[in-house]
Amino acid sequence: MLKIGLTGSIGVGKTVVANFLREQGCIVFDADKIAQKVMEPQMIAYNEVVKEFGSSILLTNKSIDRAKLGAIVFSDQNKRKCLNAIVHPRVLEEQDKLFSALPSDAIVIIEAALMIEAGSQKRFDKLVVVHCNHEMQIKRIIERNKLTREEAERRIAAQLSSKEKCHYADYIIDTSGTLDETRQRVLEVYVSLKG
For 105-139, the pLDDT digits (tens) are 999 999 998 899 888 999 999 999 999 999 999 99
Task: Calculate mean pLDDT across residues 72-80.
Answer: 88
Asked whether the beta carbons of 110 and 8 are under 8 A apart, the reply is no
Cβ contacts of residue 45 below 8 Å, gap of 6+?
38, 39, 86, 87, 90
CA distance 136 to 174: 11
Q: What SS3 state is found at 9?
A: coil
- The answer to whether the Cα torsion of 83, 174, 176, 16 is positive or negative is negative
> What are the structural domain ranges in the chain?
2-194
Q: What SS3 state is found at 60?
A: coil
Angle at 38 between CA 33 and CA 44, to 5 degrees: 175
Q: What secondary structure letter does DSSP report for 76?
A: -
How many CB atoms lie under 10 A from the CB of residue 60? 6
Q: pLDDT digits over 139-179, tens only? A: 999 999 888 999 999 889 888 999 999 999 999 999 999 99
Task: Calculate mean pLDDT across residues 18-22.
Answer: 97
Topology of the domain covering 2-194: Rossmann fold (3.40.50)
Q: pLDDT digits over 50-63, tens only? A: 999 999 999 999 99
pLDDT recorded at residue 77: 85
Answer whether residue 195 shows pLDDT above 90.
no
Q: Cα torsion for 49, 55, 56, 59, to the nearest 10°?
A: 90
Residue 91's nearest CA partner among 108, 114, 74, 67 is: 114
Residue 12's nearest CA partner among 119, 127, 129 is: 129
Asked whether the beta carbons of 194 and 107 are under 8 A apart, the reply is yes
Q: What SS3 state is found at 146?
A: coil
